[in-house]
């Protein structure tokens, strides 16, 4: 059998989220003999289809992530087009994004448990390590850099599985992305110094961004709370990052050291790859015995976002936005 052709159809159940460039919908994938599978569908708005760059990034994300198959990466199943509208069919992750996770802690005047926080960051590091090392079917390295590691692009499912999402502005050797010497890609508060200074990005840029997410997760403080690139560069050049233990004395010295190494301004002093990050985090978590797990994270999430018995599960989100 050389080829199987089957026209897959989808039934949209409801809209989950709307962002600047599109929307995400909860849907059912329909197949033979009454087959049904719950999926999420991300679309790009018609007005953005007029810009070839927007379409290229949207299509590029689907193609890039299609072969990224890892527990901690949100899976993409299909890229389609109907009536002139492009859509991506992807895994439905029922849970909460990390931005809402942090926001809920702030609303309760609490900060994330350090063991749970370390576990979440270790899973993101595992996802980055996998993506950074990914090769194509011929064994050629793809040289993937996510470039948008932020709390809003991380989902924690109700089962306690951490998922890195939204490779919409990722770069790889297979993608024609804008010249980083001319165009800023990413969100200002989570950029690496080299990213902010138009010097290009590497896997170590993602590690710096991961450090910023870790800092916020364990202190409730955004390191670079800025609105323009000049302010960001000024802060990076002229201000030292306050030690996280000054904001949260419950952070152990070993965990603080990991965080600060991720946040080294000079890439040469930073972790050289994401594998080193998750290995150090897991040594910290498990060296003394039984540490955090998916189950522990799921229970922590349920306490943070109690389920309404009259409505079933907690609010379901695929992402807080659509590229």
pLDDT at 319 exceeding the cut of 50:
no
The answer to whether residues 269 and 193 belong to one domain is yes
The reply to whether 189 and 237 lie within a common domain is yes
The answer on 138 and 80 residing in a single domain is no
311, part of any domain: no
Report the half-sphere exposure of 220 (CA within 13 A, side-chain side).
16
**pLDDT tens-digit map of 205-255:** 999 999 999 999 999 999 999 989 999 999 999 999 999 999 999 999 999
Same domain? For 230 and 298 the reply is yes
Residue 228 annotated to the active site: no
Check: CB of residue 191 under 8 Å from CB of residue 236. Answer: no
Higher pLDDT, 97 or 314: 97
Confidence of residue 173 (pLDDT cuts 50, 70, 90): low
Task: Tell me the mean pLDDT in the region 140-165.
Answer: 94
Whether 20 and 167 share a structural domain: no
Residue 314 lies in a domain: no
**Domain ends where: 37, 63, 90?**
90
CB 250 within 8 A of CB 165: no
pLDDT of 314 strictly over 50: no
Mean pLDDT to the nearest integer, 14-40: 88
Q: Is residue 296 part of a domain?
A: yes
Q: What is the sign of the dihedral through the CA atoms of 184, 188, 191 and 196?
A: positive
Tokens of 269: 């002093």
The domain tally of the chain equals: 2
Q: Note whether 178 and 270 are same-domain residues.
A: yes
Q: Is residue 298 part of a domain?
A: yes
Strand partners, 73: 164
pLDDT tens digits for 51-63?
A: 777 787 788 778 8
122 in any annotated domain: yes
User: Which pLDDT belongs to residue 238?
Assistant: 93
Tell me the average pLDDT of the chain: 88
Residue 85 shares a structural domain with residue 101: no
Q: What is the pLDDT of residue 307?
A: 80
What's the whole-number mean pLDDT along residues 288-301? 94
Q: Which of 100, 148, 206, 280 is catalytic?
A: 148
Give the pLDDT confidence score for residue 90 in this predicted structure: 92
% pLDDT > 70, the chain: 89
Residue 170 domain boundaries? 95-304
């Amino acid at each position: 059998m050389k080829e199987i052709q089957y026209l897959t159809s989808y039934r949209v159940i409801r809209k989950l989220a709307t962002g600047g460039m599109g929307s995400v919908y909860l849907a059912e994938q329909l197949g033979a003999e009454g087959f049904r599978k719950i999926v999420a569908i991300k679309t790009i708005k018609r007005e953005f289809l007029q810009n070839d760059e927007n379409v290229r990034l949207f299509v590029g994300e689907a193609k890039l992530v299609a072969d990224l198959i890892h527990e901690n990466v949100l899976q993409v199943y299909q890229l389609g087009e109907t009536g002139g509208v492009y859509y991506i069919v992807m895994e439905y992750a029922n849970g909460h994004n990390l931005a809402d996770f942090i926001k809920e802690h702030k609303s309760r005047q609490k900060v994330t448990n350090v063991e749970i926080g370390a576990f979440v960051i270790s899973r993101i590091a595992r996802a980055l390590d996998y993506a950074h090392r990914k090769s194509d079917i011929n064994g050629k390295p793809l040289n993937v850099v996510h470039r948008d590691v932020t709390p809003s692009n991380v989902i924690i499912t109700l089962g306690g599985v951490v998922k890195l999402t939204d490779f919409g502005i990722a770069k790889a050797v297979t993608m024609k992305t804008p010249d980083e010497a001319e165009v800023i890609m990413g969100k200002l508060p989570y950029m690496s110094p080299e990213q902010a200074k138009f010097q290009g990005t590497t896997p170590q840029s993602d590690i710096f961004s991961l450090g910023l997410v870790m800092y916020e997760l364990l202190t409730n403080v955004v390191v670079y709370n800025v609105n323009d690139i000049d302010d960001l560069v000024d802060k990076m050049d002229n201000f030292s990052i306050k030690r996280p233990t000054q904001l949260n004395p419950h952070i152990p010295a070993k965990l603080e050291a990991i965080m600060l190494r991720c946040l080294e301004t000079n890439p040469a002093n930073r972790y050289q790859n994401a594998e080193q990050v998750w290995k150090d985090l897991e040594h910290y978590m498990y060296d003394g015995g039984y540490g955090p797990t998916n189950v522990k994270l799921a229970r922590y999430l349920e306490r943070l976002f109690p389920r309404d018995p009259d409505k079933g599960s907690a609010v379901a989100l695929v992402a807080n936005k659509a590229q």
